[in-house]
Structure 1
Amino acid sequence: MELNGFVAAITGGGSGIGAATARRLSLAGAKVGILDLNPGAGHFIKCDVSDGASLDAAMSELADTYGGIDLLINSAGISSVGTVEENDDAEWARVLDVNVTGIARASRAALPYLRRSRNPVIVNLSSIAASAGLLKRALYSASKGAVHALTLSMAADLVGEGIRVCCVAPGTVDTPWVGRLLARTEDPAGEKARLAARQPTGRLVSADEVAAAIQYLVSPASGATTGMSLAVDGGMSGLRLPR
């Protein structure tokens, strides 16, 4: 799964899964551009996925620096907690704009460069929330379900041009983002234990495990794989174990 000579753009690459992916792809030989509001390890370009002009400028800068773009990892995303009654219209607009429209904006900005690549791939970050009913995650789940559907549609539109599009659907990942959510609860340690217990493996997924799945999907080793969602969820989506 070597990526020597490939150039990767990673939105949300400054922390969490995006940062882990940047490290993995760099070790595999890729030249990595971190497109984020906050600096990360690698060639950092300040970028806002809610702003199309910002994405256009970031992709242009990255392509000018390294001679093109081969891989796009749409990792930027935000969370939301609550039932359909607990999130107002402004919150729905905010989360969908980043988690769904942000992927469309980034992909649109990258496509002119991907079309010139010998190994063009887009990987979107979905979630177990796209397919499993989780408590108080109505808006977040809706956004990740949309990411899954968007991935399939993009894959169908672009397969004729040789551009592969897939998504990764992690379970609960042990990242600073999840840590911040836990910190808002009355019993962070107990809540973390409950999140771990709901995954059949009995532990949270690591960011590096998700990054490894992304590395596989963007590599030439998965050249026959497109339009699919790869679960990295400790068995949560497919296993039903007795309690």
Structure 2
Amino acid sequence: MTSSAAPGAGPTVLITGGSSGLGAAVVTAVAKAGGRPLVLDRQAPVGGVSWVECDLADTRAAEEATRRIAAEAGGLAGVVTAAGVDVPGKLADVDGAAWDRIVAVNLLGTAAVVRAALPYLERSRGTVVTVASTLGIKAVSDATAYCAAKFGVVGFTRALAAELAGRVGVTLLIPGGMRTAFFDDRDAEYKPGPDANLNDPADTAAAVMFALSQPPGCAVRELVVCAERETSWP
């Protein structure tokens, strides 16, 4: 990570969804590496990490929150868009507002945060790590909104990498299922079974740190990280 933080502080990395799941694992990894994690989320992260409350489905508010926290921190060395939501079900059964929110948080919120962060990342020659999913490259039933959003993140990130080449590092992370609370509120039919092969989010966070640690001019373009026997890949 290149440094853009105040003297005496480590590189500053903004993490969306940093209060839980993969986002929280990235916050921990950044802090352990000597960096300075910042969080955008609807709930406060643990450990006194600097954060701004934000609903990423409100894209203009997400932009403003990103600019605010970046300015207060004195810049950004990296952005990790780990926030994600899903409500699985057949298209006809998922409420329209819920369907729209899945796309808004996962795709439109990602683009909004990156858009607002770009001036800071260009100054630091920093890195963006977007978080897609194995369901961004493999479609399954009862996941039309999530697949649409994550397929969108894949396309967005690949286009972004071409657009920002030589100015900002861009990495697309494609994680498989992880042992997080992401599945907790689902109906039983959509929850992983007790013998499911899921990754520890700390292991996926380590891949994020690898991408963030690349020097300017060297980009890890795409990473697929999943449990060895996780069935969503390939």
TM exceeding 0.5: yes
* Superposition pairs of residues 123-202 of structure 1, within 5 angstroms: 123-160=129-166, 162-181=167-186, 184-185=187-188, 191-193=192-194, 196=196
- Deviations along 1:154-212, one digit per CA (max 9) or x if unpaired, are 1111113x21111211111110122332xx31696xx4235x1xxxxxx2111111111
Say yes or no: does 1:229 pair with 2:222.
Answer: yes
SS at 1:8 equivalent: strand
* Superposition pairs of residues 7-18 of structure 1, within 5 angstroms: 7-18=12-23
CA contact (8 A) 1:123 1:168 kept: yes
Tell me how far 1:238 sits from its aligned partner. Answer: 5.5
SS at 1:79 equivalent: coil
C-alpha separation between the residues in 2 aligned to 1:59 and 1:133? 31
C-alpha separation between the residues in 2 aligned to 1:233 and 1:117? 30
C-alpha separation between the residues in 1 aligned to 2:154 and 2:190? 32
* Cα gap change, 1:66 to 1:186, in 2 (>3 Å): closer
C-alpha separation between the residues in 2 aligned to 1:163 and 1:107? 11
C-alpha separation between the residues in 2 aligned to 1:152 and 1:224? 16
Q: Alpha carbon RMSD of aligned pairs, Å?
A: 2.4
C-alpha separation between the residues in 2 aligned to 1:158 and 1:2? 17
Tell me how far 1:23 sits from its aligned partner. Answer: 0.4
Of 218, 223, 226, the residue aligned with 2:212 is: 218
C-alpha separation between the residues in 2 aligned to 1:166 and 1:14? 22
C-alpha separation between the residues in 2 aligned to 1:186 and 1:90? 22
Equivalent position of 1:32 in the other structure: 37
The percent of aligned pairs where both chains have the same amino acid is 31
Structure 2 residue ranges without an equivalent (≥5): 4-8
C-alpha separation between the residues in 1 aligned to 2:233 and 2:171? 19
CA contact (8 A) 2:59 2:108 kept: no
* Cα gap change, 1:220 to 1:171, in 2 (>3 Å): same
Tell me how far 1:49 sits from its aligned partner. Answer: 1.6
Equivalent position of 1:200 in the other structure: none
Tell me how far 1:2 sits from its aligned partner. Answer: 9.2
C-alpha separation between the residues in 1 aligned to 2:65 and 2:165? 25
C-alpha separation between the residues in 1 aligned to 2:188 and 2:157? 33
Total equivalences in the alignment: 225
Equivalent position of 2:123 in the other structure: 116
Of 198, 201, 205, the residue aligned with 1:207 is: 201
C-alpha separation between the residues in 2 aligned to 1:57 and 1:176? 28
More helix by share: 1
* Cα gap change, 1:67 to 1:177, in 2 (>3 Å): same
TM-score, scaled to structure 2: 0.86
Tell me how far 1:87 sits from its aligned partner. Answer: 2.9
SS at 2:184 equivalent: helix
Structure 1 residue ranges without an equivalent (≥5): 197-202
C-alpha separation between the residues in 1 aligned to 2:15 and 2:174? 17
